[in-house]
Structure 1
Amino acid sequence: MKKPPQLIKSLILILFFIGASVWGLYFSAPPKFLTVSFLDVGSGDAILIRTPDNFKIMIDGGPSNKVLNHLGNNLGPIDRSIDLLILTHPHQDHVLGALNILERYDVKKVFGTGVIHTGDYYINFLEKVKTKKIDFTPAEQGEVLRYGDLEIEVYYPFESLAGKKVASLNNSSIVFKARYGKNSFLFMGDAESEVGQKLLKSGLDLRADVLKVAHQGSKNGAQNVKGFLDKVKPQYAIIPVGENQYGHPHKETLDILDQKGIKVFRTDRAGSINIQSDGDKAWIKNGE
């Protein structure tokens, strides 16, 4: 006995919706807008940028494997590709999660300082880059990377630090601006006042809609240098921070940001913070 045509159509429709639901569980569609996610990984940086073209850029990885849960939530369990991993500097609260990313994901390119550092976690990171034959590029001012309509320009270090010993790992941090249409984001790594002063004198265009506050909002972070925030003029300041023994973010940092009328968002209070941009305006959109 033949099934009625209407019943067949209904069954096909049901199967379609079931299939779409299963697909959605395993694959995450590219966002409609540029999405910059400051992931709540505790005290450390882990930032995911996704473009409408489905380019994925990771900035640092935080202090643990917690970043993997966030990447699973954002990318789904099947998508294991990262186009670019930027390691701003080789401190543990940035590297450990990045090492986990290298182990779990297919990372196409790593951008780092290449400074000499003897921490086991950093040596393991570099070994993993080597064994997986991932392209590693040392950062220096003027380097520009493009991913679709997203442009990343390195502001600091002013010259390559590859193979060099540095007095301060924080002050070797890669500082860069990400531009998307009319919107821009300034990422500071853990740069301290010394770098802030150099950037102020550099003549570089520091203006940005969003500032990633340096070093979890520490007292000696680059943003606290007199005149720095007047040059950046951000609408939003994001502080990736968790429970810590150093008192981050420092009251002085919070007071300065408040005095300038800048909207502050902290991952220890808001959880992961998502900022979206259509190339004309940027806005906060929380939740993963």
Structure 2
Amino acid sequence: MIVVTGATGGLGSAVVENLLDRVPADQIGVSVRDVTRARRFADRGVRVRQGSYEDPAALRRSFAGAEQVLLVSGNDPAADLVRLHRDAVGAAVEAGADRILYTSQQAAVPGNPYPPSELHLATEQALARSGVAWTALRNGAYGPLDQVLGPWRQTGVIAQPEDGPVPYTDRADVAEAAAVLLAGDRSLDGPITLTAPTAVTFAEVATIASALTGRTIERTVPSDDQWVADQLATGVPEPVARFMLTWYQASRAGYFAAADPLLAELLGREPRSVADRLTAQLRG
């Protein structure tokens, strides 16, 4: 059995949907905080059990019978996610899982100024000490493009801090690749990087967006301090703005610059590009 955590979230639910295309439903289980939100999976024959990272005993029960467990990383900034992830790894081991997969982050390496890197590194270290086979899916940035580009469609301007090349990756592609690994005969050990095929800068995105929209999309570069002040003026709390700024700082330092061909290999096709995603966004 394959058990997926966080299966009512965006990434986890997409992984389960892809698994349902590849393996019988009775070979899939989900561990979710609120079982009522997973009714659509239960109705299709998926085993649904309650479990949360805050309750290792419940996790062990929800993982029972699993050969593989996919741990979707937590995202609560107020929680001790390192401890919670370590407990989740321990619960999977105690439940008898043969392999643990974990949704990590591209460039989860020492020195990366983006704070989640430290969380992912610590979790990968816990996996390495677990005594079972493991795979860390170091996913490329797969959030909505507007999250990093800002309101460019309304303003005609990408006004974000200085950046560097990033292989912006589609969440649907990442989810499909995770399902391919969980359902297939191929196993990959340790950290692997899953990204779109090409890393682009905001200036390049502006050029792409201009061609797609038929209007000139400008790229402007406010200073870090000015950008933070602009965020505060729109109601973003200062700690949140400064946290977001570290992502741009990491990109400009080149931490996310490398694109990896593995995602395309797993999918058997080219992953969606920024141009593909912007096109779909504009049509939607």
* Same fold (TM > 0.5): no
- Taking structure 2 as the reference length, the TM-score comes to 0.34
Larger Rg: 1
With the length of structure 1 as denominator, give the TM-score of the two structures. Answer: 0.34
- Whose strand fraction is larger, Structure 1's or Structure 2's? 1
